[in-house]
Chain A
Amino acid sequence: MSANGTGGAPAIVYCHCKYAQVLPVATKEAVLRALCDSGLPFEAVPDLCEASARRDDALKRLASAGPLKIAACYPRAVKWLFAAAGAPLDAATTEVVNLRTLSPEPAAGALLSTALEANLPAGKVTVADAPKAVVAPNPNES
């Protein structure tokens, strides 16, 4: 299992955020279904926070997979969750698809696309870095 022969396309990582309801369920289901429908290889983790807290080696494995597209939550949170686990992400080759703010279709589209738009924050994150995509309200959040 390696990046050989894939033409530099990014590996896909999906976080199921199992231990909290912060990701809209409909978005999670739609994105996972789109991944399975696509037939593409992907990595799925039950919960990035939980893996980070345990410093699970799975995060080191993922961080070493080359260019990455990570479907999870805010890029700032994802960046430091990996860093806290001793598995820093390469800012130049990582794109985080924010399932907290994107609606299902754009989220799935961004994840499956071979084009990579690196978006990990560097330095202090300000409102200028906030996602400009369509915002899907999360019924689980008050």
Chain B
Amino acid sequence: MALSERTLRVVVYEGPGAIPVGAAERYAAVSALLERGFGVTRAGSERPVAPADASPMLVLGRWDGATPEPTGDPADGVLTRWATLDPATAGDAAERARAEMGAPVPGAWKPWFPVIDYDRCTNCMQCLSFCLFGVYGVDAERRIQVQNNDQCKTQCPACSRVCPEAAIMFPKYKSGPINGDAVSESDLGREKMKIDISALLGGDVYAMLRTRSERAQSRFSKERDSDKALAERQKCLAKLAALAGDIPPEVLMSLPSPEEIARKATEAAARAKAALAPETTATAN
């Protein structure tokens, strides 16, 4: 995921040189812009707003005269475009300005990803060990961090359920404390909060998948029936889905092959172990 992108900032201006609009039109324009994914500043003098920076800007107003000419130079990174404030066309004007100024297009990906509460996190690395999708990593100080948030599986809160401190939030999750609501002591011990898939299945989930795969391979080496292999895997994963509660079936169904799961799990565990190892050992490795 690209970092530190400067998105287009749309400013609704009603100060000197512009004619104020009514509240209803203001609401319609701001709503339309937000629905198209644009951040909006309604400028004025009664309250502060965020300071200007190098982000490209589109200023919308009912100009008391001609619409101002574009300003700024691509070389200094500060570009400003001006257009007429009209709720019906504000979104299109912003799209044009964004394209002209080469600003990134947000919203291409549904923002579902873990957010770590470092007030609670103990750096135990359980999340790193658990996640098969490479979302977690460690920083230079070997502190757990979310490194590949766009690899997270939409609607899957599984890693937050293995966190012993309830330190992993998904702000768009339906209920607390995963959504960021306060954590109670009972949350930490509550069975509902925790998903121990291994325990639910009476053993290591990866081992279970491996065993099933081996059984299937043995049988299929005689039968050569790929449909049966697929059915076997789907049956196994459907059982997981039923037991795992709110982990979406499509997430479980998109898990890699049992062999790949075992390999990824081993790698993640090794990374977690390395991150937790004393500095000298980690360096030696």
Contact = CB atoms under 8 A, between A and B. Distances in A.
Best-surrounded residue of A52, A58, A141 (most CB of chain B within 10 A): A58
A115 interface: no
Interface in A38-87: 39-58, 60-62, 64-66, 73-78, 80-81, 83-84
Contacts of A118: none
Given A54-B106, A56-B5, A73-B180, A11 B48 contact: yes
Nearest to A33: B27
Interface residues of A, number: 70
Best-surrounded residue of A40, A125, A128, A141 (most CB of chain B within 10 A): A125
Interface string A72-109: 01111110110110000000000000001000000000
Contact of B49 (A39, A41, A83): A41
A78 to B, nearest CB: 8
B30 to A, nearest CB: 6
Interface in A1-57: 1-6, 9-12, 16-20, 22, 32-33, 35-37, 39-57
Contacts of A100: 179
A75 B171 CA distance: 10
Interface stretch (B33-41, B64-72, B123-131): B33-41
A77 B115 contact: yes
A56 B7 CA distance: 7
Contact of A44 (B42, B52, B176, B182): B42
A77 B23 contact: no
Contacts of A33: 23, 27
Nearest 9 pairs of A and B residues by beta carbon: A77-B180, A74-B180, A3-B48, A41-B44, A36-B27, A49-B111, A50-B111, A77-B171, A20-B172
Given A41-B48, A62-B50, 12 more contacts: A1-B49, A9-B47, A18-B34, A37-B23, A37-B27, A53-B111, A53-B113, A53-B150, A66-B48, A74-B171, A76-B117, A126-B182
